[in-house]
Structure 1
Amino acid sequence: MFHTFADVKTAEDLKLPVPTLAARDGDGLRQPNMLAVEPSPELRHYIQDIGDRVDAIQQRLVPSEEDNMLKVSSDGRKAASDRRLVDPALFQHGPTKIGATADLLASVYEEHKDRIYTDPSTGEPEPARGALQLVFCDFGTPSEKWNVYGELKDQLRRRGVPEHMVRFIHEAKKDNEKGRLFAAARSGRIAVLVGSTSKMGVGTNFQKRAVRLVDMDAPWRPADLEQRHGRILRQGNQNPEVRISQVVTKESFDSFMWQGLERKSRFINQIMRGRLDVREIEDIGDNTLNFAQAKAITSGNPLVLEKAVADQELARLSRLDRAYNRNLVAVNHTKRGEQASADAAAQDLPLIHAAVARTVDTTADALPSHYRRPNLR
């Protein structure tokens, strides 16, 4: 019904002159690279604590104002980035997502710091050299306390990236400030620009030198992810080939988030393309997780999460089967009632025909004389 009045054109249909996504390491597919980070012992312990919280919530041992599944989901997502987002007093041992991102950004900076870009209007080489990298992070935005943005900037400085060339989208409070920030990004005065989806995902124009985009976390909606990647896969980018990296902490809530995005985007693409191979699409607007998914995540076994999803699908299909059988019984009952009515009508039909044969036309002069009232005049 939607496609009877909607004219949907996807990026594949438009074929705009945008950069090509570089082939992924390993399988050669032109898709984002997944940069996996091993979980620290502290994170594993914290995830197990989340499992205990889920048990307490499921058994209603804690009031919903104190703890609930939405808080569990939020804390799990924060811990997957850095446990200090949950509690700034916690110290993070071992490899971290921030450290892995800093290593990647620093290596790309060294690789492209002498790259030459041209002025679009004149075609002349611009004096400033170097490419631009974009980092999206929705947790740990700049504030007075410890935050991911500040830690990332500090680690980049220690790896040789000039501190003044690492900027945050949050520095620009007004439209004119954003304009100057974007101009600096296009002119090569910024090497790394960090921002959140809400502030840097829509209405931005700094793709000219963008060579690498990093997703440090996963948003809830596929549209948000599409807006992120649209900042680099965009007309006006002078890099013929770009890369997108997604930093993921193993055995954490990252698996739930990225699997959820993949599932949601698959359904949405079916609708937008108008080539549905199913009659129903499940509701994808829920921004939290259920008990089975939470327990699967805290188990540390990705197969358990797949089983939880399969169990959900089995429960859904079982409900449909029961509803179908109940509907079938109701239809059969209605059928028997209608058949009985038809049989009774068939028995009455000869009597009705006989009654029709005995009827007398009483209209105007057709009425027999012995039925007429005598003329009293």
Structure 2
Amino acid sequence: MSPVPGTAVPGALGVAAIGYAFMGRAHSQAWRNVAAHFDVPAVEQRVLVGRDAARVAETAARHGWAETATDWREVIGRDDVHIVDVCAPGWLHAEIAVAALEAGKHVLVEKPLANSLAECEAMVAAARAARARGVQSMVGFNYRRVPALAYARRLIADGRIGTVRQVRASYLQDWLASEDAPMTWRLRKETAGSGALGDIASHTIDQVQFLLGDTVTEVSGRLHTFVARRTGPHGVEDVTVDDAAWATLLLAGGAVASVEVSRVALGRKNSLRIEVYGSEGALAFDLERLNELEFLDAVGPAAEQGLRRIIVTEPEHPYLGAWWPQGHIIGWEHTFTHQIRDFLAAIREGTAPSPSFEEGLQVQRVLTAVEESAAKSTAVQL
């Protein structure tokens, strides 16, 4: 059952979310709704944490949190908090996650895992130590929970497209296309770590490895900043991260993937597109058509071949048995509910959820290799 804010549910897992903006709201919606659709352990939205007391209180009231706080350090020490959901900016991930794990709390961290390899490695060490004590951790690459992409992974694993040869993955947005777009923390390297690379290339790189069940072994990359200076609250500032990134990835299994990401691609609001080409077929997905998957079976007669559209809304498709009758579509926000469902199932079963912090570290290694390759104009081995 879903708890009523302010009431206690015996045996429920208390959740604290750190961060109340975009990702905080997306995660809040998932925590509030997951038990209404999935068989999961009972949870209570105990406390929402943010630095601005007034704004965090407003968000908490809207999204079902029982109370608020402004100091995450006090919250993770509470006996009634069992899960810490880190939705804060990337430069805070390592400090919060490590402290929460050491306090014996299960931890979910939004992607990317952190802003640097050193921070990610510290988080992995803490996660491994905590796992030995039965404390679970996971990084939030929510697109793994798109039913169409989860189904695509199943088709690839079942050999339906044969040996994967190449992948094309792009993630294009346009919210920074205008030179008048204001300066934010996302455009400063000391707070964001990187630009489009860490923000959205992390998703594409995770998807390439997730869909293929494979690991990147070599990277060639390029970064570019199209608008070098922007105006913010403190006047005109230098933009110290990339606006766009490109990479060619070689995977251990022999496949080659091309990745392109941008936050200045006019007309593309949130366009994640993935194409996978194998020896016996192909798959294609576009986030702007989240409930659809294109599939080519090249085993049949050539005269009958072609990409066909699969409407991924059947109860047999991943996650969809919990939702509406077949043919009724779901949306972007459902991916976070699926993510929480899987995390809670892992906690109940005592199994390590995926993507683990180790998987998040692997993505960070690829991101770092893209930066290194771009700086040196040479391929980088992982």
Higher fraction of strand: 2
Instruction: Give the TM-score normalised by the residue count of structure 1.
Output: 0.30
Structure 2-normalised TM-score? Answer: 0.29
